[in-house]
Structure 1
Amino acid sequence: MNLPQIRLESNFIKMGLRIEKPVQEIEQPTAIQSIQQPKAILEIETIPGKLTIDQTKAREDVDLKNVGRRIEEFAQNGYQDWLKGMERRTAQGTELMKIENGGNPIAYQAKENSEGPPKQFNIGWVPSHNSVKIQYEPAKVNIEALPQKPKIDVEIRKPVHTYTPGKVSTEILEKNSLNIDFINLTI
């Protein structure tokens, strides 16, 4: 038995997309900078050191005395010798006044007046220890520094931005269709 049939054959639409991608460009120019650093104001004051060396005592120890010092010593020694001489003569005169008390004052005085004191000998240091006086005042340095702030100039540059938007377009690659077919139809 042949039954009548309706046959349907359909095709869907086929669509295509044409895409143009967007283009974006960003460029950042560098900033223009100007930096200057002024020199610091610097003041330096130096007070020189002072060295004082006094070698008067060392020179006196090696018998290199100045004229004023020699005159002063001679005057002092002469005065002391004069006082000792007066004392000796007074004592010897008193001994001679009392000659009757015995002894031999004339011989004793002759020996005393003819002989000097015994010589002294000892080890010594010439010049004597610490005879050179040294005094030192160190140098002084005063430093004053006044810093200067840097001078900075900056010119900011805006970024360069270009943008091309993308496009999407559609196209029909294959149209939709519907085929109808009849089979076993008797008319």
Structure 2
Amino acid sequence: MNIPQLQIQTTPAKLVVHTEKAIQEIEQPRAVMQQSQPAAILEISTTRPRLSIDTTAVREDIDMKSVFKRTQEHAQLGRQAALEGIGRRASEGQQLLRIENGGNVIADLAKQNGTPPPASLGIRFVANRTKIQMSIAPGTTNINVTPQKPTLDVQTNKPIHTYIPGKVSGTMEQYSSIQIDWKG
């Protein structure tokens, strides 16, 4: 027996898709920054130290005396020598008054006055340093620092953004079809 047959033949559709990618560009410019730091204010004030040294006593010990001191000493030595001379003359006068008691008073007085005492050797010792009088007034130093704040100026820049959207297009390369055949 012969059975009729149905034949179906299909052709699929072919779609071609064309795409253009989107383009996106982002650029971030750097921020502009200006910074400055003023110098700190520095103030320094000082008072000088004072050193006072009195060497009068030491200078007198090594015979480097002031004019006033030397004049005073010479006046005192002159007065003392005058008093000693007056005393010596009075003593010699007393001895001459008693010439009748015997002895050789004039020869003894001549011998005493004619023979000077032996001179000193002239050895002197250097002055004692402990006689130096010193006084010290210390100085002072005051330091005052005033810091200055820094200045900071920042200018930010917005990003630069460009965007080109993509495109999608499609074309039909082959349409779908159906063919039905009856065979019988």
TM-score (norm 1): 0.58
1:167 matched to which residue of 2? 167
Gaps of 5+ in 1: 86-110
Alignment RMSD (CA, Å): 4.9
Query: For residue 67 of structure 2, what is the amino acid of its counterpart?
Result: V
2:155 matched to which residue of 1? 155
1:10 matched to which residue of 2? 10
Instruction: Verify the 8 A CA contact 1:58 1:132 in the aligned structure 2.
Output: no
Distance (whole Å) between structure 1 residues aligned to residue 176 and residue 80 of structure 2: 155
C-alpha spacing 1:16/1:73, structure 2 compared with 1 (3 Å): farther
1:97 matched to which residue of 2? none
2:97 matched to which residue of 1? none
State whether structure 2 residue 48 is matched by structure 1 residue 44: no
Q: CA deviation at 1:66?
A: 0.7
Distance (whole Å) between structure 1 residues aligned to residue 112 and residue 15 of structure 2: 157
Distance (whole Å) between structure 2 residues aligned to residue 150 and residue 137 of structure 1: 42
**Matched positions, count:** 178
1:70 matched to which residue of 2? 70
C-alpha spacing 1:7/1:134, structure 2 compared with 1 (3 Å): farther
Distance (whole Å) between structure 2 residues aligned to residue 4 and residue 59 of structure 1: 163
The 5-angstrom pairing of residues 21-100 of structure 1 reads 21-56=21-56, 57-58=58-59, 60-63=61-64, 65-74=65-74
Q: CA deviation at 1:153?
A: 2.8
Distance (whole Å) between structure 2 residues aligned to residue 55 and residue 18 of structure 1: 114
Distance (whole Å) between structure 2 residues aligned to residue 70 and residue 28 of structure 1: 96
1:92 matched to which residue of 2? none
State whether structure 2 residue 20 is matched by structure 1 residue 20: yes
Distance (whole Å) between structure 2 residues aligned to residue 36 and residue 137 of structure 1: 44
Q: Deviations over 1:116-175 (max 9, x none)?
A: 6996887844xx352555555555332222222233333332222222222333333332
Give secondary structure in 1 for the equivalent of 2:6. strand
Distance (whole Å) between structure 1 residues aligned to residue 15 and residue 112 of structure 2: 157
Q: Quick one: percent identity of the two aligned structures?
A: 39
1:91 matched to which residue of 2? none
C-alpha spacing 1:160/1:83, structure 2 compared with 1 (3 Å): farther
